[in-house]
A and B are shown apart, each in its own frame.
Chain A
Amino acid sequence: MIETDIIIIGAGPTGLFTVFEAGLVKLRCHLIDALPQPGGQLAEIYPKKPIYDIPGFPSVLAGELVDNLVKQAEPFNPGYTLGERAEKITKTDDDQFIVTTNRGTEHKAPVIAIAGGLGCFEPRKPELDRLEEFEDKGVDYIIKDPEKFRDKKVVIAGGGDSALDWTIFLADVASEVTLVHRRKGFRGALDSVEKVEQLAVKGKIDLIKTAQITGLNGNGTLSSVDIVNKETEEEIHRDTDYFIPLFGLSPKLGPIRDWELNLNKESISVDTLDYSTNVPGIYAIGDINDYEGKLRLILCGFHEATLMVQSAYKRIHPEKNLVLKYTTVSGVNGFEN
């Protein structure tokens, strides 16, 4: 059981900044996120896009902002449970919460901050017969541990950055990589596109364009896929250990719906005094919450996180009065371990 002061559900910008603000008042945090990396949609959807409305940054790339926030949180040694979805919240007899993920990891704390953005990102799945039958038995939507594919045969489908990046990466790891893409051109970054084309020319990968996967075969585990070239109508049967469809991720509110919180459509209703929900000890901050005048902006998430932490402190240390300290005066005193 992982124990901490604040369990933060969602490691996007708001969740990451919560670690910093909590650290300033000596509260420890642990972040849970369904994605394998921190940053939420900034890292997953638009890491290379500039953001212009972060105070003090005339322009910053979304990915850079995430890197900076992770670095800013580092002195406070946050724990991370990544690639796991917060599934269940239960209350303990000593007025604390236990958050359990879909993989069974348990976390205990007196305070939960839900910074879940638009919900958890779930992979967009192609419509294929027997797809679900082979999930975790040869079909993977998210790559958590690339070593799993060492010396294996892999078929990747997709045309965006993640399909390109993983094709490039796995070309050196897997024994055989086939990239299947429905179109002629790619949507990803130019240099990645060039790299993939070069790998194909050198024969290090097999690139099949204007084609799609039409069938999955195997007995218990995946053993081959059927590919059809849409232009030539050629049918290809390819033996493979893994099929990785990378068609992007789409956010779903998911289990949050079952946590007995007051919702307004897909958002959690909060009191703007401290961004508390109807359940004492559970707060909601950033894009996931809703109140009159709500704006879904990163900078508003930062503000909400800061005020929320003050309230969390009072809940955890009801006997103490918190005095606001300026970092310029006190510096940033991280945790030793």
Chain B
Amino acid sequence: MKDIVTIFVTDLEGTEHEIQAPTDMNLNLMEAMKANELSVKATCGGMAMCATCNIRVQSDHELPEMSEDEEAMLDEAFVLDIEGSRLSCQIPVSEKIDGLRVQLGELTGE
């Protein structure tokens, strides 16, 4: 069991950040990014109701499938059709995402 995972996040300015997140604190990726002082708006706080924590997944990690809510929200925010588009609040921090590479989406800094 890996207690701490590493994630690579490219921010809106194009800078890559290497962040660490614990797997035993019931965090999601949005929270882990905020905890590392990355600027993510995340208006609704993690309910898949706003799309301001959107990301593009760039590595080929196996992630939990999109819920209907997440898919509809991404669609309503006009970003569903973009490759790798997800809401970071819907991705739990677990050892499955160790080494994940993501890029912050345009809505995170609206």
Please give the residue numbers on chain A whose beta carbons come within 8 Å of chain B beta carbons, in ascending order: 41, 45-46, 49, 118, 124, 126-127, 158-160, 182-183, 185-187, 247-248, 250-252, 265
Contacts and interface: CB of A to CB of B under 8 A. Distances in A.
- Binding site secondary structure of chain A: loop
Most-contacted residue by chain A among B43, B52, B107 (CB, 10 A): B43
A127 B76 contact: no
A248 B50 contact: yes
Interface of B: 39, 41, 43-44, 47, 49-52, 68-69, 72-73, 75-78, 107, 110
A37 B28 CA distance: 32
A187 B73 contact: yes
B43 A159 contact: no
Contacts of B78: 124, 126-127, 247
5 contacts: A46-B49, A49-B47, A118-B43, A186-B72, A248-B51
Given A46-B49, A185-B72, A187-B72, A248 B43 contact: no
Contacts of B107: 250
A45 B76 contact: no
Contact of A187 (B39, B52, B76): B76
Contact of B76 (A118, A248, A251): A248
B44 A46 contact: yes
A34 B102 CA distance: 34
Nearest to B71: A183
B76 A250 contact: no
Contacts of A159: 72, 75-76
A8 to B, nearest CB: 21
A247 B41 CA distance: 18
Contacts of A252: 110
A189 B20 CA distance: 37
Contacts of A247: 76-78
Contacts of B49: 45-46, 49
A124 B77 contact: yes
Query: What are the nearest 8 A-B pairs in CB distance?
Result: A187-B72, A247-B76, A45-B44, A45-B49, A250-B110, A118-B43, A46-B49, A251-B43
A182 B75 contact: yes
Contacts of B43: 41, 45, 118, 250-251
A248 to B, nearest CB: 6
A126 to B, nearest CB: 7
A46 B47 CA distance: 9
A108 B44 CA distance: 33
A46 B46 CA distance: 11
Given A41-B43, A41-B44, A45-B43, 14 more contacts: A45-B49, A46-B49, A118-B41, A124-B76, A124-B78, A159-B75, A160-B76, A182-B75, A185-B68, A186-B72, A247-B78, A248-B50, A248-B51, A250-B110
